[in-house]
């Protein structure tokens, strides 16, 4: 999961777009279950650490996972995230 995010998600994107793309790409290259776990783990780490846990991050993660179900490639996934406002 970490390698997918490091290799596929461009740096410097807005937070919610990053969440959508990261979750979607993890779902495409690993599994939907792993994408849900990664998103939940990130928010839990933010909740109990120095980060900022936000419900909208979780919504963006779920949108990315949903986009991955219908995307034929990474470009289609990115387009789907953009069309959903991420």
For the chain, domain boundaries: 14-83
What is the structure's pLDDT at 49?
A: 86
Q: What is the DSSP string of the chain?
A: -HHHHHHHSPTT--HHHHHHHHHHHHHHHT-HHHHHHHHHHHHHHHHHSSS---HHHHHHHHHHHHHHHH-SSHHHHHHHHHHTT-
Q: What is the pLDDT of residues 30-52, one digit of tens each?
A: 999 999 999 999 999 888 988 78
Residue appearing with tokens 């839990």: 44
pTM, 2 dp: 0.92
What is the structure's pLDDT at 83?
A: 98
């Amino acid at each position: 999961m970490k390698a997918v995010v490091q290799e596929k998600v461009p740096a410097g994107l807005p937070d919610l777009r990053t969440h959508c793309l990261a979750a979607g790409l993890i779902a495409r290259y690993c599994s939907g279950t792993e994408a849900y776990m990664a998103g939940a783990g990130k928010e839990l780490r933010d909740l109990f650490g120095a980060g900022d846990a936000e419900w909208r991050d979780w919504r963006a993660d779920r949108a990315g996972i949903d986009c991955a179900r219908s995307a034929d490639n990474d470009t289609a996934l990115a387009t789907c995230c953009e069309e959903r406002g991420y």
